[in-house]
Structure 1
Amino acid sequence: MTTHPPHIAMFSIAVHGHVNPSLEVIRELVARGYRVSYAIPPAFVEKVAEAGAEPKIWHSTLPGPDGDPEAWGTTLLDNVEPFLDDAIQALPQLIKAYEGDEPDLVIHDIASYPARVLAHRWGVKAISLSPNLVAWDGYEEEVGEPMWAEPKKTERGQAYYARFQAWLDENGVGADPDSFVGRPARSLVLIPKALQPNADRVDEAVHTFVGACQGDRAAQGEWRRPAGAEKVLLVSLGSAFTKHPAFYRECVKAFGDLPGWHTVLQVGKHVDPAELGPLPDSIEVRDWVPQLAILRQADAFVTHAGAGGSQEGLATATPMVAVPQAVDQFGNADMLQSLGVARHVPMEEADARTLREAVLALVGDPEVARRLDSIRREMAGEGGTRRAADLIEAELSTVKREESE
């Protein structure tokens, strides 16, 4: 009799900051002998296949990973409506993709709404893999309700909630939109606990902090510190909200003539390096970089404070200047500053003088170095990739026990 390995299905959206955190967990599960499928739009098929997963392709209506950041809009409803629209049109695609190949367990990024609906339809457990902060006891009252107070008064906001609830009801999911999005039954948190606001009020029976799941990233390429570079600075606003040539020009002014410093400036795909004007030899401009490889050699990091970049800065004990652009980045910037390892500089204040003073102050402060080293050691004890895989295996073991009873 031939036995087949358990089938784990992973679901995500085509955004670097949502796919990348899961990849090492996927790689580890595959190495342990599990069959892992990964439902993802075409832009990330090669990346998930390289991790050993079987791509299940579906087509998304969200802006792609290299799309214009302005496509995401500016208001709360601008930001959330596309995710619901995408989920509703994706669900029939995913039902068809998995017909006759239903998994034993669902794991999913927090932005993959269809995943929880599918798990309910299939009668299997679902585990959320959160690449950023999670809700704490009191989150709704302190954050959710104030944030939604005005939008819920509008016809557009009420229509959004009504449509979301109707979709959930149609699929037999006994939840309201807020709890569906923010209150999973089980969650693995792929950020260090140090980055979680009100961590002492997080229900750890639901949310387990496993910390950074980074891997060696060799496939992303290497980077070497140039000869003569006494200090290295990485400047990156991530992969989405990078269309800021004026900001990059301020960085050139701030660091281009700093003696002994070499600056790597990642500008993304929406900025032409020619827009930055004449560049000194100490400024290296790229549209993309192997970020972790550089941070392992860097002395400072100017970052948008996305969850991935923030934890990579902490894992490599790199002082950070946080210039947030959107969503959770503002909260991350405040957390990093409260930890004493970063400065939060709003974009409108990020001129050459402010950036330069912030970087030099952080790099020259031994207390910042001490705190970074302490956090790095705490993170190492959270378990990372192996612990995440262990916990997923434990959920599968529970499923097997329930089936045998």
Structure 2
Amino acid sequence: MPTFVFFNVSAHGHINPTLPIVAELSRRGHTVYYFVNESFTAAIEKAGGIAVVLPGTPGSQHIPPPGDKEIALLPFLMARESPRIVPAILERLKSIKADCVLFNTMLLAPRIVSRILGLPIIGFRPFHSSRQPKHSEISSDPDFKLSAYAAEQALAAVATSYQLPRLSLRELYAEVPGLTLVFLPKTFQVEAAQFDERFLFVGPSFVAPPLIPWPAATGSESKTTRVYISLGTLRNNEPGFYRMCYSAFPAPDWSVVMSVGDQIDLQALEPVPANFAVKRSVPQTALLPHVDVFVTHGGLNSTMESLFYGIPLVVLPTIKEQETTAARVRELQLGIVPDKSNLTSASLREAVNYVLQNEQIRQFLQHMKNDIRSAGGYLRATDAITAYYQQAIQTR
């Protein structure tokens, strides 16, 4: 049986969609290694994978979440680090006798090491796909020019060390693997016609867990609206927003669960109204079937999981990736995107009531729910991985 090796960004939104695939590959008898930082080793091992932690890889919980500029500069920073990181990865891949590389397409090193070793490579995207390079967005920034120069120098050193043709950052990222998994249905993809058969849109990748009881107090079951509020796992230290929600959704008409993350001081949210349950985290997919409306940051996984259950969305994005999701939710009439700059408890409540009562939104939600459930999820993704690998070794 082949040995598959995953490379990913160490963040919940990137790791989580791959865990059911790791589990399914392991269940089928494959060996799965997963390069990750220490924060996620337990999750990888629980799924049946073997976690590999490279020396000097920091734990993600102590790193401030990157903004749009930092995200745009990441390819250059990864290129600059490639003379250090590529040899370390190569050594580990040789020792574990890797047969196939699966990688988050944000990453650079897996593209290089697969060339050096001649391994089949499969991409995956737990974010919106794009067929256009985005360097132009920051090309006038002085940091861009300095980073671009350092990146090209570092890549030239790697190419010389391993006797490769000249490596260009733009060319490396423009290369599309023969298979790239995208964790959304094609109907949600922006400019979907640009994506050919190399891109497999499998929808959200998760295993629906058993339901949990609704943890917040409710009034009359026929009248109480259940709202779930989460700003994700990274940019969620927003005590003012959470207190605004208290006044937006009073008892007895509303019952609210808020997932507020690990950064916030919970005492800053006291006193908590009786109709609210404030949690550091909740098992989201086990809670969502209870939910009438989801107030979300617009993370792609959260959005897809909500749409899997046909739940209308109120989206409050903070970075460009989330703004792309929010725009798509608005365009496809799956929810609403309030103006965050003028958000009040009254306007937030109005937005939630709007998506609750809009029959057209309900109809479009049903269509998207059907598209998502027919996309195949982690099982289709796993089938595609094993089939692609078999085809790759037969055509060598």
How many Å separate the matches in 1 of 2:376 and 2:165? 33
Contact 1:102 / 1:122 at 8 angstroms: preserved in 2?
no
Counterpart in the other structure of 2:42: 46
The answer to which of 337-346 and 93-102 deviates more is 93-102
Q: CA RMSD of the aligned region, Å?
A: 2.5
Question: Mapping of 1:302-313 within 5 angstroms?
Answer: 302-313=295-306
Counterpart in the other structure of 2:113: 118
C-alpha distance after superposition, 1:185-217 (max 9, x if no partner): 231111222331111222x22211111111134
How many Å separate the matches in 1 of 2:100 and 2:241? 45
TM-score (norm 1): 0.88
How many Å separate the matches in 2 of 1:88 and 1:251? 49
Question: Mapping of 1:3-82 within 5 angstroms?
Answer: 5-59=1-55, 61=57, 64-67=59-62, 69=64, 72=66, 75-76=69-70, 79-80=73-74, 82=77
Counterpart in the other structure of 2:137: 147
| Aligned CA distance change for structure 1 residues 352 and 183 (closer, same or farther; 3 Å) | farther
2:271 pairs with one of 267, 275, 278: 278
C-alpha distance after superposition, 1:295-335 (max 9, x if no partner): 12100111111111111111111111111122411111100
How many Å separate the matches in 2 of 1:387 and 1:397? 16
| Aligned CA distance change for structure 1 residues 372 and 91 (closer, same or farther; 3 Å) | same
C-alpha distance after superposition, 1:149-171 (max 9, x if no partner): 32379643443543464366345
C-alpha distance after superposition, 1:346-365 (max 9, x if no partner): 43233212211101110111
Contact 2:81 / 2:154 at 8 angstroms: preserved in 1?
no
Counterpart in the other structure of 2:236: 242
How far residue 134 of structure 1 moved from its aligned partner, in angstroms, is 1.3
Contact 1:26 / 1:53 at 8 angstroms: preserved in 2?
yes
Contact 1:193 / 1:199 at 8 angstroms: preserved in 2?
yes
Indicate the SS of the match to 1:215: coil
| Aligned CA distance change for structure 1 residues 288 and 174 (closer, same or farther; 3 Å) | farther
Residue identity in the other structure for 1:176 = S
Question: Mapping of 1:215-230 within 5 angstroms?
Answer: 215-217=207-209, 222-224=212-214, 226=217, 228=219, 230=224
Counterpart in the other structure of 2:336: 343
How many Å separate the matches in 2 of 1:145 and 1:92? 27
Q: Which runs of 4+ in 1 moved over 6 A?
A: none
Structure 1: which 5+ runs fail to align? Answer: none
How many Å separate the matches in 2 of 1:187 and 1:333? 23
Contact 2:83 / 2:154 at 8 angstroms: preserved in 1?
no
Indicate the SS of the match to 2:62: coil
How many Å separate the matches in 2 of 1:312 and 1:101? 35
TM-score (norm 2): 0.89
How many Å separate the matches in 2 of 1:352 and 1:247? 9
How far residue 120 of structure 1 moved from its aligned partner, in angstroms, is 1.3
2:291 pairs with one of 283, 286, 298: 298
How many Å separate the matches in 2 of 1:168 and 1:367? 55
How far residue 40 of structure 1 moved from its aligned partner, in angstroms, is 1.2
* Number of residue pairs the alignment of both structures matches: 388
Residue identity in the other structure for 2:138 = W
- 1:108 counterpart = 2:98: no
How many Å separate the matches in 2 of 1:391 and 1:184? 16
How far residue 102 of structure 1 moved from its aligned partner, in angstroms, is 2.5
Indicate the SS of the match to 2:264: coil
> How many percent of aligned residue pairs carry the same amino acid?
23
Structure 2: which 5+ runs fail to align? Answer: none
Indicate the SS of the match to 2:394: helix
How many Å separate the matches in 1 of 2:185 and 2:204? 6
